Amino acid sequence: MRHAETVTFGGSGLDRAAHLRSDAAALGAALAEGWVLPVWRGKPLICGDDLGWVRAASPVLAHGGAPVFLGLDVGVARFAQDISAWSPEAGAEAVEAGFFDPSEQRHPALDDAFAFAELRAVMVRLSPRAAELAATARAVLHWHRSHGFCPTCGGASQMAQGGWQRDCPSCGAHHFPRTDPVVIMLVTRGNSVLVGRNAAWPEGMFSLLAGFVEPGETIEAAVRREVFEEAGIRTGAVRYLASQPWPFPASLMFGCAAEALDDAIRIDPAELEDAIWVSREEMVSAMAGLHPRLKPARKGAIAHFLIANWLADRLD
C-alpha cells in the first residue's frame, strides 16, 4: 500500500461483495446474521472509538428505511440504515447549525455509551475499516434521501441492488450513487504553501484551495483553473498525490501538487475571504497549535494530510 492510501477514509480494503447485491435471498440471510449501522440525519452511531453496530431486529431501527449493504468485513456482513425519521426525546441535546455540529444524540433503546455524532468529530478516532464503512454509509444514505424521484421522468424511484441503485417503475430508468470529483491543491513556491479561508469557517482557520472538476475538464486543468480563479495565481507542473472519499455529502477529493509561477495573490471575494502564503516554519507552528492566528485544516481532512506530509518531505 502506498503511503498516500493511509489518508482518513482510505486504504482499508473493504470487500464490497458486489456479487451479493442482486441476490435478495443472500442479502436477507446476511442481514439476519450481520450488523447494521444506524445513521441519523447524517450522523453515524458511535460507541467509544468504534461504530455503534446493532442487529437488524434492534428497536433503534424501527423508524428506519431499507438497509444498504456495505460489504463483508472479514466475512461479517455490514449494513447501514437511515433512521432520520426518529425524533429524540424532549430535552435531548439539539442539533447545532453551522460549519460543525458538536452535539450528540442518544437513543433510549441504547445505553449512554452509544451516541449519534458528527463524523468529522470522530473520524480520526476510528480504525481505517470503521472509517471506510462510516464514509460509505453516510454518502450512500444521503444519496437515497436526496434522489427519491427519477430525474428522467419525475416519478418516485425505488431502492434496488442492496442500496446501490434506484429504479424507476414509471419509465424503467436506473440510477446510481453520485460521486463528485473535487481537486484540492498543495500549491507551493519555494519554501511556502498557498492557503485560503472561507468566511463561514472558524476564526483563523486556513486550508488548501479546492474546487469541483467541471465537465470536459482534466484534473490538471481543474487545478490550474481553480487556483487562478480563486487566488489569481498561475501554476505550472501539476502532479497527483492522493485521493480521499469525503462524504460531506459525496465528494472524491483528488489531492495534487502544483508549482506556482508567480506569488501575487488576487483573491476572488465570491470564493475566498482571504488567501496567504505560509512558510514551512510558520506552518509547523500552526500544525502544532502554537501559531498566534493561523489554524490548520481539521485532522482527518486530506488538506491536513497533504500539508503534514509536505512538511515531512514524504509526499511520494
pLDDT digit of tens for each residue in the chain (316 aa)? 688 889 999 879 999 999 999 999 999 999 999 999 999 999 999 999 999 999 999 999 998 889 999 999 999 999 999 999 999 976 667 676 667 889 999 999 999 999 999 999 999 999 999 999 999 999 999 999 999 999 999 999 999 999 999 999 999 999 999 999 999 999 999 999 999 999 989 999 999 999 999 999 999 999 999 999 999 999 999 999 999 999 999 999 999 999 999 999 999 999 999 999 999 999 999 999 999 999 999 999 999 999 999 999 987 7
Contact call for residues 231 and 194 (beta carbons, < 8 A):
yes
Q: Looking at residue 100, what is its pLDDT? A: 80
pLDDT for residue 96: 65
CB 78 within 8 A of CB 35: yes
Q: Where are the domains of the chain?
A: 3-145, 147-178, 180-311
Compute the distance between CA of residue 17 and CA of residue 200 in angstroms, rounded to an integer: 40
Chain segment 215-228, per-residue pLDDT in tens:
999 999 999 999 99
* Three cell numbers written together for 77: 456482513
Is 25 exposed, middle or buried, given 0-12, 13-18 or 19+ CB atoms closer than 10 A?
Answer: exposed
**Per-residue model confidence (pLDDT) at position 91:** 62
Contacts of 96 (CB under 8 A, 6+ apart): 102, 103
249: preceding bond cis by omega (within 30 degrees)? yes
Q: How far apart are CA 71 and CA 78, in angstroms?
A: 6
- Residue 236 near residue 227 (C-beta atoms within 8 A): no
List the one residue out of 253, 154, 259, 268 whose CA is nearest residue 210. Answer: 253
Q: What is the pLDDT of residues 154-166, one digit of tens each?
A: 999 999 999 999 9
End-to-end CA distance of the chain: 12
> Can you identify the CATH homologous superfamily of domain 180-311?
Nucleoside Triphosphate Pyrophosphohydrolase (3.90.79.10)
Work out the number of other CB atoms within 10 angstroms of the CB of residue 21.
19
The residues, any chain, with a CB within 8 Å of residue 289's CB and separated by 6 or more, are 295
Task: Specify the pLDDT at position 256.
Answer: 98
